[in-house]
Amino acid sequence: MKTEPEKSAIADGGEAVPVHLSSVVARLKSVDPVAVSHDLAPEIVAKVRGGRTARPVMNQVWRMVVPLAAAATVVLLAGGVWLARRPVDPGRQAIAWLCRIQEPDGSWNAVRWGGNNNFEIALTGLSLMTLLDGTSEARPAIEKAVTYLIQHQQADGRFGELFSGLPYNQGIATLALARAYEIRKDESLRMALDKAVSAICASQYADGGWGYCNEAHPASNLSITLWQIEALRLVSKQGWPQVNSRMERGLRWMAGVAADDGSFGYQKSGDTPGGASQTLTAMGAMSLLDPAHIGLVSPGRRQAIKAQMQRLVSAPGTDMDYYRRYFLTAALKQMEEASATRGLVAMRHDLVDQQVARGGEAGSWNADDRWGATGGRLYATTMAALSLRN
C-alpha cells in the first residue's frame, strides 16, 4: 500500500518514474548553499554551436534537464520549495554585516568586536575599503565612514591620537580615503588627502622606510612601511606626483631587506621575529612583484621571490592568518604562473569555508588567528573580504 501520493516524471528512456513529493522536498531542504565559480551556460551554448558535436551535446543536456525540470514542476505544483537555492556571495554578505554594525558616527567600534581601541581608525579604514566595491546599498555607510575619518584628522594631517602604532592608522586611513577619492573626486577628500600624504612623507626615515612613533631607537620595519607605500602608490596614480621619490625610496628600502633566497625580513634581511617569515615574504612580494617596480630587484632576486611564493602556495600554513592571507593573495595576483592561480583559488575557497553562515554574525569571520586580539572580528572580516577580491 502506498502511504503518500505519487506523481510521475519522464526519464530519458521515456518511462514514467515515480516521484515521492515528501522525499524530494526533504532532500532539497537538506542541500546547503554553494558558491559557483562560473556560469556553465555559455560553455554549453558554445559547444552546441560548435558544429558536428552539437547533437551529442544537446542529447546530453536534455538527458540532464528533462528529469530535473519534471521533478521541479512536480514540487512547484505541490506547493514545495524551489529546486535551486541561489549561491551566496561571501563579499556581499560581509558588506551587509559591516553596514549592519556600523556606529552612528560612521566608525566601527573596535572594542565591541574584540579589538584594540587604539586601532579604531585603521579598522574603520579597512571597513571602508571593504564597502567601496559593494552595491548601492553600501553608499550611506561609505559616506558616514568618509566623514568620520575626515573629522578625526588632525591639523598636521595625522589620523587619531598620537601613540606608537599611529602609522598603521595613518597608512590605512590614507589608503581608504584614496580609494574613495577614485570614486568620488570632491574637494573635501582631496584636501584631506593632501594633509594625510604630507604627514606620511614627513614621517619617513632617512633610510627610506617607516616605523613606530616615539621609539627610543627609531627603526624602519616592513609591516608599517608597506601600508605607507600602498597609500603613496595609489595617490601617485591620482595626481600627487610629488610622492614618487618618497615611494621609490621606500621600495628600495624594502628591496634591501630581501635575502638571496627571496625571503624578506622585518627590519633587515633574515630578521623574522615571532615566526612571521611567511607574512613578511608575502608583504615584500606584494610590492616588488608589481610590474611597475620591476627594476628595483635583479632578475635573479625576482625569480627567488617567486620561488618563495611557490613554496608558500604549497604550504600556506595550517592556521587561518588573515593578515598573511591578504598579502599572499595580493602577491599571487601579480604572478602569471598556473600554480599561483591555483593557489589563489584554493585560498579563496578556504576563506569562504571559514565565513560565518548563520546567526547574528552571518557574513563575518571569527577572529581566531594570531592578530585577533588586536583587531577582533572587524579585522578578520575585512582582511578576509579584501583577500577574496585580490
Q: Does position 3 have pLDDT exceeding 70, yes or no?
A: no
Q: What is the Cα 358 distance to its own chain's centre?
A: 21
Distance (Å, rounded) from C-alpha 129 to C-alpha 177? 8
pLDDT digits (tens, 9 = 90+) for 200-240: 999 999 999 999 998 888 999 999 999 999 999 999 999 99
What angle (nearest 5°) sits at the alpha carbon of residue 169, between those of residues 167 and 171?
65
Q: What is the mean pLDDT of the chain?
A: 82
In this prediction, residue 337 has a pLDDT band, given cuts at 50, 70 and 90, of: confident
| Dist. CA 128–CA 112, nearest whole Å | 18
CA 153 to chain centre: 26
Please report the pLDDT score of residue 311 as a whole number.
Answer: 86
Looking at the whole model, is its pTM more than 0.75?
yes
Cβ within 8 Å of residue 167, ≥6 positions away: 203, 210, 211, 212, 213, 224, 227, 228
In tens, the pLDDT along 21-72 reads 445 444 444 444 444 444 444 444 444 444 434 344 344 434 444 444 444 4
Exposure string (b/e) for 128-154, b if CB count within 10 Å is 16 or more? bbbbbebeeebeebbebbbebbbebbe
Rounded Cα gap, residues 41 and 163, in angstroms: 55
208: left (phi over 0), alpha (psi -120 to 50) or beta: left
Task: Check residue 385 and give its pLDDT.
Answer: 97
pLDDT tens-digit profile of 281-335?
999 999 999 888 888 999 999 999 999 988 887 764 556 789 999 999 999 988 8
Supply 146's cell numbers.
Answer: 568618509
pLDDT score recorded for residue 280: 94
What amino acid is encoded at 335 in this protein?
A: M
The residue length of the chain stands at 390
Residue 133: its pLDDT value, please? 78
Instruction: Average the pLDDT over 340-348 and give the result.
Output: 89
CA atoms within 13 A on the CB side of 11: 6
Number of Cβ atoms within 10 Å of the Cβ of 119: 24
- E-strand spans in the chain? 6-10, 16-20
